[in-house]
Amino acid sequence: MVIKLSNIKNNKLYQPLVFAVKLIIFALAIYYLYTQFTHRNLDNLGDLVSEHLFQTQGILLFTGLVLLQFVNYGLENLKWRQTLPLLKESTFLRTQKAVYAGNAVAILTPDRLGTFIGRFTYIKEIPKTTITFSTFVGNYAQLVTTLLFALIGLILSWNFAIGFHYPEQLPINTLIIVMTIVCCMALFIFYQQKVLLELLRKLKWKYLNNLITKLEFLGDLTELRLHTILGIAILRYLVFIAQFHVALTLFGAEPELIWTAAFCGVLYLFSTLIPSPFMGNLGTREAIAVFLVIPFGLEETVIIASLFIWLINVVLPSIIGGIILLKK
């Protein structure tokens, strides 16, 4: 008997089961963190923060982290405007507010899927479906970038013999081969989005006409524009790396930039693959980070740095977005 995937997803138990799996993974991640730190004095974490954050250099580095958050979401806005040319009729500031509004809603939804809801709540003159699909295109560009930097991180880790703590079942050479194939496939799909529109047009099904109308913006995604979108996504990822590097430096790690780039590539790869029911992969990302840096003895530094980045990149933009929605 063949079970169709669509039938499984339509089952009433599907979403609760998916959420339950994510919740179990989150619980395991928290338990792992607990087991890693029970034999240590947890006051060390507080001491680490107070020792470094409230110094002159610490304040400057923390300010830099916050400013990079604005660069991060400014690039997200720029990427969205490139994805959906209709947004050029709105000012950059207005679409920036929509991006932050999207974050306010996204923080309340699984996997931050509510981003587009906040956006079309703020930009009402463009069809909701168009905003939704344009957001997905931008998000997919960011996913492709994450995969590319994961491959780069693995190669850097292998080439420079950076001894991250990998699972024994996943040797690094195997990961590099698999990620090379995955990246090629992801890039192919990214650059063939117009093919989807053409296929839908050729079907000539009446009930698809409305959807095709909403997807017309895909026809404007020339190769040059796709290059631009991917380029902006890459710049945004470089901001992530810069933030992690600054955060690690803030709390006394002083890593080399190559180490941070490799670490971020591997960290965000596993964080993307392992589901979490909470915003910004809270919990699971910290557990993965701690697992990776065990050979370096940077567990406390990494967990504090990761939590601060989560507060700055997820919570702060959501607060800003909430204020924007309230004032609308």
- Report CA-CA distances (Å) from 1 to 11, 12, 27, 84, 229: 17, 21, 35, 43, 43
Torsion of CA 173, 174, 177, 183, to 10 degrees: -110
Give yes or no for residue 100 having a pLDDT over 80.
yes
pLDDT tier at 146 (50, 70, 90 boundaries)? very high
- With bands split at pLDDT 50, 70 and 90, how would you rate the model's confidence at 148? very high
Distance CA 154, CA 51 (A): 33
- C-alpha 209/C-alpha 186 separation (Å) is 27
pLDDT of 26 above 80? no
Q: Examine the pLDDT at 122 and tell me if it is beyond 60.
A: yes
Q: Name the more confident of 198 and 280.
A: 198
User: If you count them, how many residues does the chain have?
Assistant: 328
Average the pLDDT over each of 26-40, 290-304, 305-319 and give the range with the smallest value: 26-40
Residues 276-294 pLDDT 10s: 555 556 667 777 888 888 8
Residue type (1 letter), 41: N
Name the residue ranges covered by the structural domains of the chain.
14-327
The closest of 240, 257, 137, 150 to 189, measured between CA atoms, is 137
**CB contact set of 139 (below 8 Å; sequence gap of 6+):** 115
**What mean pLDDT do residues 152-179 have?**
89
Q: What integer pLDDT is reported at residue 44 of this predicted model? A: 63
Q: Interhelix angle for 43-53 vs 299-310, to 10°?
A: 70
Residue 237 is predicted with a pLDDT of 97
